[in-house]
């Protein structure tokens, strides 16, 4: 049984977290994700959880670290400049191998930039972002429904791998209202029941959690490894974990790629706009398809291998609301023998269906590699 509701992306993410059993939220206001803390302020007390408006993003992520260290599902949310601040704590959480979810509703940068939607945090989300050799698992929803579903999935992945997971959307997705299907029990989780589930969650299988060392040896949550060889051991362990994740968790959507001459690669909101362009182009008999990475890290390399395995003389067009970040992973995934063009705008502008269609047509018969591709403005 499920019900259909109309909800914004931000609120869908917040409710999904509650339903996934998250009982701790700390965050600092920043546009365009303010609906998340506001929703949590109202909702967390209803389910016996904790909401804290922290003094800064630095504090928020550290509070999440504390709650996660106790074995509870915990999250924070922010937007690009705030995520830059959270990188400190994310690195510690990755090093201490704690599960935590970080929601990033991206806006345009660099610096203060502005509050328009953008995808310019691809690097700081997927490449580590903070100091040290670590990765966040990064999930990129393209609709409000997916924002809801992937947020719940994020908690599962976080627990499974004891790793920070970032839900990466943009201002458009956060602010947009769409009808979604949610379990019927949503919004009605009774207080007592949720309290029990909280207890259960905290006790469950997280034997490493800080609970007080009753009837066991003391637990320690830390990333510090000073003794010779210890940090290398930790890092090798992390790398093995990342390899496992890369092998098992790649997520993507592929559309019309079987006969495509040109494949657009785009994620999140950008992919939805690309789908509009594909419709127009297909009507003109131009063979174009789409690969939409749903996990940005691990980047879904395997689907590119499959495309290459077909031996097609296919060209790729990476489209982003940034100036060429994901395109680097596309180039790495397809190798130098394939043409990878790029179309991107950020800072207020978003590549339109027309711009994408125009770019696809322009590269359709191009023989040599050449980029960047100047789109019609």
The footprint of another protein (CB under 8 A) covers 23-24, 26, 50, 52, 54-56, 58-60, 62-70, 72, 74, 88-89, 92, 96, 202, 210-215, 218-224, 226
As measured in angstroms, the least distance from the Cβ of 255 to another protein is: 42
As measured in angstroms, the least distance from the Cβ of 112 to another protein is: 20
As measured in angstroms, the least distance from the Cβ of 83 to another protein is: 16
As measured in angstroms, the least distance from the Cβ of 54 to another protein is: 7
As measured in angstroms, the least distance from the Cβ of 214 to another protein is: 4
Q: If 0-12 CB within 10 Å is exposed, 13-18 middle and 19+ buried, where does residue 35 land?
A: buried
Q: Based on CB atoms, which residue is closest to another protein, 86 or 345?
A: 86
Which two tokens mark 102? Answer: 């970080």
What is the phi/psi pair of residue 175, to 5°?
Answer: -90, -20
In residues, how long is the chain?
377
CB 180 within 8 A of CB 144: yes
Q: Based on CB atoms, which residue is closest to another protein, 164 or 351?
A: 164
As measured in angstroms, the least distance from the Cβ of 376 to another protein is: 47
- Element housing 59 (H / E): helix 57-69
Q: Based on CB atoms, which residue is closest to another protein, 92 or 316?
A: 92
Which two tokens mark 124? Answer: 């700081």
As measured in angstroms, the least distance from the Cβ of 150 to another protein is: 24
As measured in angstroms, the least distance from the Cβ of 49 to another protein is: 9
CA angle 348, 295, 122 (to 5 degrees): 35
Q: Based on CB atoms, which residue is closest to another protein, 188 or 213?
A: 213
Q: Are β-strands 2-8 and 50-53 bridged in parallel, bridged antiparallel, or unpaired?
A: unpaired
Among 48, 269, 50, 261, residue whose Cα is nearest residue 144: 269
Q: Based on CB atoms, which residue is closest to another protein, 8 or 62?
A: 62
- Please state, in angstroms and rounded to a whole number, the distance separating the CA atoms of residues 368 and 223: 48
Q: Based on CB atoms, which residue is closest to another protein, 212 or 311?
A: 212
Q: How many CA atoms lie within 13 A of 107 on its CB side?
A: 20
Which two tokens mark 237? Answer: 């362990």
Which two tokens mark 61? Answer: 């992520």
Q: Based on CB atoms, which residue is closest to another protein, 27 or 268?
A: 27
Q: Which DSSP symbol is given to 168? A: E
Q: Which DSSP symbol is given to 131? A: S
Q: Based on CB atoms, which residue is closest to another protein, 79 or 87?
A: 87
Please report the DSSP string for 256-276 in residue order: S-TT-SEEEE--HHHHHHHHH
Packing angle between helix 57-69 and helix 80-95, nearest 10 degrees?
A: 30
- Please state, in angstroms and rounded to a whole number, the distance separating the CA atoms of residues 267 and 165: 17
As measured in angstroms, the least distance from the Cβ of 248 to another protein is: 29
Q: Based on CB atoms, which residue is closest to another protein, 10 or 54?
A: 54
CB 322 within 8 A of CB 170: no
């Amino acid at each position: 049984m499920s019900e259909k509701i109309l909800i914004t992306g931000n609120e869908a993410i917040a409710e999904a977290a509650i339903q996934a059993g998250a009982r701790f939220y700390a965050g600092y206001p920043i546009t365009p994700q303010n609906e998340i803390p506001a929703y949590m302020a109202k909702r967390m007390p209803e389910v016996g959880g904790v909401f804290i408006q922290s003094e800064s993003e630095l504090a928020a992520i550290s509070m999440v670290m504390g709650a996660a260290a106790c074995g509870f599902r915990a999250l924070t949310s922010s937007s690009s400049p705030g995520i830059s601040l959270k990188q400190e704590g994310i690195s510690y959480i990755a090093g201490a191998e704690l599960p935590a979810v970080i929601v990033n509703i991206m806006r345009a940068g660099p610096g203060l930039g502005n509050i328009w939607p953008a995808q310019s945090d691809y690097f700081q989300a997927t490449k580590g972002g903070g100091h040290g050799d670590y990765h966040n698992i990064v999930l990129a929803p393209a609709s409000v429904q997916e924002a809801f579903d992937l947020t719940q999935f994020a908690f599962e992945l976080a627990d499974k791998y004891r790793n920070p997971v970032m839900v990466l959307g943009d201002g458009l997705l956060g602010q947009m209202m769409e009808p979604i299907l949610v379990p019927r029990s949503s919004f009605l989780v009774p207080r007592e029941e949720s309290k029990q589930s909280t207890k259960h969650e905290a006790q469950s299988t997280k034997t490493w959690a800080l609970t007080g060392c009753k009837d066991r040896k003391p637990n320690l949550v830390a990333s510090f490894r000073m003794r010779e060889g210890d940090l290398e051991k930790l890092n090798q362990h992390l790398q093995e974990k990342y390899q496992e994740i890369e092998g098992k968790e790649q997520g993507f959507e592929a559309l019309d790629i079987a006969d495509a001459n040109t494949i657009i690669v785009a994620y999140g909101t950008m992919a939805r706009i690309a789908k509009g362009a594909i419709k127009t182009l297909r009507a003109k008999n131009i063979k174009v398809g789409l690969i939409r990475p749903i996990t940005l890290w691990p980047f879904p390399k395997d689907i590119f291998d499959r495309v290459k395995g077909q031996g097609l003389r296919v060209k790729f067009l990476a489209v982003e609301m940034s100036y060429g970040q994901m395109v680097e992973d596309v180039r790495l995934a397809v190798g130098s023998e394939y043409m990878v063009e790029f179309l991107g705008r950020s800072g207020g502008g978003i590549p339109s269906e027309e711009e994408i269609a125009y770019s696809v047509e322009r590269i359709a018969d191009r023989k040599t590699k050449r980029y960047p591709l100047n789109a019609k403005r």
